[in-house]
Amino acid sequence: MDKKTAVFRKEHFNAAHRLFVPAWDDQKNKEVFGKCSNPNFHGHNYELEVKVTGVPDPQTGFVIDLKLLSDIIKEYVLEIFDHKNLNLDTTHFKNLNPTAENIVRIIYDILRKRIEPKLDLQVRLYETERNFVEYPA
C-alpha cells in the first residue's frame, strides 16, 4: 500500500463580512465590490472541506482519525470564525480583504501548523453553493 489516500472532513460556520480594502475609501470599495461591500455587512453559511493526504497506518487503517481532524478544525478554526464578524471580530482580516480566496488561505495556514508535516493538506471553502475556492490549487 505505497500509494497515498486522501481523507476529507466537512465542517461549517456562519459569519458576517464585507469586502473592503482598508486602503480605499467607501466609494472606491463600492465601485469594485458592489453590494458585497455593504458597510453594515452581509453574511454566509461557509462550508469547509479539509483534505488530508498520506499513507494509512497499517494497523488502524487511518490516514488521520477523522474525529481528531474534526476536533482540530473546531478548536482552531470554528472557535475563531463561527458566529463572528470576519472584519471586526478577528485579527486576520483587520488589514486583509475577507474574500473567499483570503479566508481559505488563512484557514490553511492555521491548520497547517496543527496537522503532522508528513501529511499533505488542502482546503476548499464554499461561500455559497455556486461560489467556492480551493488552496493550494
Contacts of 119 (CB under 8 A, 6+ apart): 52, 53, 54, 63, 64
Q: Which three cell numbers stand for residue 101?
A: 480566496
Distance in Å, CB of 115 to a copy of itself, minimum: 14
Q: Which of 11, 36, 47, 134 is catalytic?
A: 36
- Is residue 134 among the annotated active site residues? no
CA 133 from chain centre, in angstroms, equals 9
Residues 6+ apart with CB under 8 A from 60: none
**Of these residues, 12, 31, 42, 83, which one is catalytic?**
83
Is 83 catalytic? The answer is yes
Minimum separation from the CB atom of position 38 to a copy of itself (A)? 5
> Which of these is catalytic: 11, 49, 127, 134?
127
Q: Which residues are catalytic?
A: 36, 83, 127
